[in-house]
Amino acid sequence: MSEILKIDSVSKHFGGLMAINDVSFSINEGETLGLMGPNGAGKTTLVNMVTGKYLADSGNIQFMGHDITRMPAYRRCKLGISRTYQIPRPFPELTALMSVVVSALYGKDRANQSLEDAATEATHYLEFCGLFSKRNVLGKDLTLYELRGLELARALATTPKLIFVDEVMAGLNPGEAYKAVRLLERAKEEFGVTILWIEHVMAALMQAAQRVVVLHYGQKICEGLPQDVANDPYVIECYLGSCHV
Ligand SMILES: Nc1ncnc2c1ncn2[C@@H]1O[C@H](COP(=O)(O)OP(=O)(O)O)[C@@H](O)[C@H]1O
Ligand SMILES: [Mg+2]
């Protein structure tokens, strides 16, 4: 099993707040790694550091043998790292199709790719995410569930090797959440992507993830098999709200 991503002693502070404090873990190629933790634990901040939205204050991040710690976000994307946003970030005035076309054109060095070819590719990803019938709807007119699908279609259109999925179930009803989870599982089968799946709902990750990492107040407090993590007394205490690091 080879490591696709290695996060080594990474930290990030905002003013006096240590949002991520000396966190290390790796993701193996092909796995689904769950990243769990209560609200404010630092999950999104960690994603922002690996995808390049924020630079780490210290520590090192390696992706497929490249040191990406200080690399700009667009280069990390072209190397094969992609993400979805917890709060969807559509282009409000672009149609669903054109939003995915942007990703298809941008995600790799494809100077020679025509707009027509990009549109064909984008249509394929929209179809995969169940949004073919919405292809001509503007971003601002899509529902939250549709926007979650669009986030995934856009992420897939950059042809990533590793996708960070940030709280895909938040705000969805149980039926929609189930469909969103199935879609991620199918994306893994069809496109062979490795997934870092962030969720603060513990139960959701227990089935989907091969391993789970737990953050609390910016620190890694547990890492292991889902069942072991779910039974860890310290993790349970943190989720019930009575523990302090
Ligand atoms: N850009 C920012 N500026 C200031 N504080 C931030 C910023 N981003 C996150 N934080 C703070 O860092 C902590 C971790 O936030 P976040 O990574 O969003 O947690 P999670 O995704 O686990 O809910 C929180 O206390 C949050 O308020
Ligand atoms: Mg978050």
Query: How far is ligand 1, taken at its centre, from the CA of residue 19, in Å?
Result: 6
When the pLDDT of each residue in the chain is averaged and rounded to a whole number, the result is 92
- pLDDT for residue 78 is more than 60: yes
Same structural domain, 104 and 177: no
- Cβ of 19 below 6 Å from ligand 1: yes
Percent of the chain surpassing pLDDT 70: 95
Confidence label for 199 from pLDDT (cuts 50, 70 and 90)? confident
Dihedral of the CA atoms 40, 41, 46, 47 (nearest 10)?
A: -60
Residue 112 falls inside a structural domain: yes
Render the burial of 106-135: b for 16+ CB within 10 Å, e for the rest.
bbbeeeeeeeeebbebbbbbbebbebeebb
Query: How far is ligand 2, taken at its centre, from the CA of residue 48, in Å?
Result: 10
Query: How far is ligand 1, taken at its centre, from the CA of residue 36, in Å?
Result: 14
Across residues 35-49, what is the average pLDDT?
94
Instruction: Enumerate residues with CB within 5 Å of ligand 2 (an ion).
Output: 43-44, 86
Same structural domain, 139 and 196: no
Give me the pLDDT at residue 208, please: 86
φ, ψ dihedrals at 191, nearest 5° = -110, 0
Residue 3 falls inside a structural domain: yes
Same structural domain, 73 and 132: no
Confidence label for 176 from pLDDT (cuts 50, 70 and 90)? confident
- pLDDT for residue 5 is more than 60: yes
- Cβ of 41 below 6 Å from ligand 1: yes
pLDDT in tens, 128-146: 999 999 999 999 999 999 9
Q: Which ligand is nearest to the CA of 166?
A: 2
Q: What domain range includes position 149? A: 90-156
Same structural domain, 30 and 64: yes
Residue 85 falls inside a structural domain: no
Residue for token digits 């240590």? 18
Q: Per this entry, what is the length of the chain? A: 245
Q: Which ligand is nearest to the CA of 48?
A: 1
Give me the pLDDT at residue 111, please: 62
pLDDT in tens, 88-142: 989 999 999 999 999 999 876 666 678 899 999 999 999 999 999 999 999 999 9
Same structural domain, 69 and 120: no
Give me the pLDDT at residue 45, please: 97
Q: How many folded domains does the chain comprise? A: 2
Q: What is the CATH number of the domain that holds 170?
A: 3.40.50.300
Residue 109 falls inside a structural domain: yes
Same structural domain, 74 and 167: yes
Across residues 21-38, what is the average pLDDT?
96
Query: How far is ligand 1, taken at its centre, from the CA of residue 145, in Å?
Result: 24
Query: How far is ligand 1, taken at its centre, from the CA of residue 51, in Å?
Result: 15
Name which residue sits closest to atom 4 of ligand 1, judged by CA.
Answer: 14
Dihedral of the CA atoms 45, 61, 147, 137 (nearest 10)?
A: 130
Same structural domain, 116 and 237: no
Same structural domain, 50 and 23: yes
Residue 164 falls inside a structural domain: yes
- Cβ of 40 below 6 Å from ligand 1: yes
Name which residue sits closest to atom 26 of ligand 1, judged by CA.
Answer: 40
When comparing pLDDT for 109 and 7, which is higher? 7
Of ligand 1's listed atoms, the one at least distance from the Cα of 218 is: 14
When comparing pLDDT for 53 and 239, which is higher? 53
- pLDDT for residue 245 is more than 60: no
- pLDDT for residue 46 is more than 60: yes
Same structural domain, 226 and 203: yes
